[in-house]
Amino acid sequence: MYIMDTAGNLKTSSIELDLDRPNIEDYLPSGSSIPEPRGKLRLRDLLDISPTLTEAAGAIVDDSFTRCFKSNPPEPWNWNVYLFPLWCSGVMIRYGILFPVRVLVLIIGWIIFFSPYIPVHFLLKGHDKMRKKIERCLLELICMFFVASWTGVVKYHGPRPSIRPKQVFVSNHTSMIDFVILEQMTAFAVIMQKHPGWVGLLQSTILESARCIWFNRAEAKDREIVAKKLRDHVQEADNNPLLIFPEGTCVSNHYTVMFKKGAFELDSTVCPIAIKYNKIFVDAFWNSRKQSFTKHLLQLMTSWAVVCDVWYLEPQNLRPGETPVEFAERVRDIISVRAGLKKVPWDGYLKYSRPSPKHRERKQQSFAESVLRCLQEK
């Protein structure tokens, strides 16, 4: 609706504008209403009682969620006439010499791996104990070749994990290579997202023999199935030690996001593992939304080296009166402190989906209630 002002100009009616505005009373508890302020209400009063505005401003200034899943490109250092020839020489060495040698190492590794693996896997099916032991050794061997193909320099701290019933290992997660780095020391059974392509082929063949557990993040029913498989796995002493990345997704190696509580509801001893990569040669973070794992491997194989530290930390148990969520946060604290990572209060699954309408409604209701309290005080 339009009205004519004294100067003859058309203006939108205030009634029509009011219809487009959200009604704050819709988000108040039933039976509540906005009272008339008893005193003069200033703008600063609303700002002071609005943590929502503070949170929004903080998100703009310091967007820690986006940075958790963002790979930072290396800073260029070939910016003058003295450094540029050195940079060109480095590129030629990495791509012309190191990369072909590393590809050859990986090919030799696969040949050595498959030569005994195929006969052992198919001819020793009646001797499960011996077959599992040999396959564990071969799995560790091929992971060693993978690490060698990156010129991996890995320093392990603490006692090597042993095979015991009712224990689970949890670690922060930067890339799929976390599993390879840990697997070369101990043949873990890992819980992992099911991947397509050649990675999925390895999951359904070679890693299947290690009793690994796969899930599809998009399938809600997979959660119950996986939870049952986890409980059954930790009860058997002969199974490979169970390795879980409770963040549920790859996170930049500067942060840790919320740990899922599933790994901490198994009534088992939790053994934390902290992994910290040195970015001096390459950023090991795998941004799976922008880069395939094949390209990620090529990036590692054309770098100078992958350097990291791995700490096997003191085993932890659920304390009396402690909930699984509190237990998960306590273990996350231990890993974050040891690896020098910053804790952020984000759910890693938000990386793959937008916030639910219920989450937005809770925020809206919280804001409406804060405004109501302010008006009542005035």
The model's pLDDT over 341-370, given as tens digits with 9 standing for 90+, comes to 988 887 766 666 665 666 667 766 776 777
Q: What percent of the chain has pLDDT over 90?
A: 30
**pLDDT mean over 179-188:** 90
The answer on pLDDT for 85 being more than 80 is yes
Please tell me the distance from the alpha carbon of residue 5 to that of residue 41, in angstroms, as a whole number: 30
The model's pLDDT over 94-150, given as tens digits with 9 standing for 90+, comes to 999 999 999 999 999 999 999 998 888 888 877 778 888 888 899 999 999 999 999
In this prediction, residue 304 carries a pLDDT of 92
In this prediction, residue 21 carries a pLDDT of 45
In the structure, what pLDDT confidence band is assigned to residue 81 with cuts at 50, 70 and 90?
A: confident
Instruction: Write the DSSP assignment of 1-24 as a string of letters.
Output: -EEE-TTS-EEE-HHHHHHHS--G
Distance of CA 4 to the CA centre of its chain: 59
The answer on pLDDT for 14 being more than 80 is no
Report the phi/psi class of residue 58: left, alpha or beta, with left for phi > 0 and alpha for psi in -120 to 50. alpha
Please tell me the distance from the alpha carbon of residue 210 to that of residue 135, in angstroms, as a whole number: 8
Distance of CA 272 to the CA centre of its chain: 15
Specify the range with the lowest mean pLDDT, choosing from 63-67, 193-197, 235-239, 272-276: 63-67
In this prediction, residue 149 carries a pLDDT of 93
Three-state SS at 191:
strand
Please tell me the distance from the alpha carbon of residue 170 to that of residue 245, in angstroms, as a whole number: 6
Instruction: Write the DSSP assignment of 128-166 as a string of letters.
Output: HHHHHHHHHHHHHHHHHHHHHHTTEEEEEESPPP---SS
In this prediction, residue 108 carries a pLDDT of 96
Please tell me the distance from the alpha carbon of residue 196 to that of residue 216, in angstroms, as a whole number: 11
Please tell me the distance from the alpha carbon of residue 329 to that of residue 334, in angstroms, as a whole number: 9
In the structure, what pLDDT confidence band is assigned to residue 330 with cuts at 50, 70 and 90?
A: very high
Is the Cβ–Cβ distance between 375 and 45 less than 8 Å? no
In the structure, what pLDDT confidence band is assigned to residue 328 with cuts at 50, 70 and 90?
A: very high
Measured over all CA atoms, what is the biggest interatomic distance in the chain, rounded to whole angstroms?
Answer: 97
Q: Residue 298: what are its φ and ψ, rounded to 5°?
A: -65, -35
In the structure, what pLDDT confidence band is assigned to residue 83 with cuts at 50, 70 and 90?
A: confident
In the structure, what pLDDT confidence band is assigned to residue 270 with cuts at 50, 70 and 90?
A: very high
In this prediction, residue 104 carries a pLDDT of 96
Cα dihedral across residues 262, 264, 265, 266: positive or negative: positive
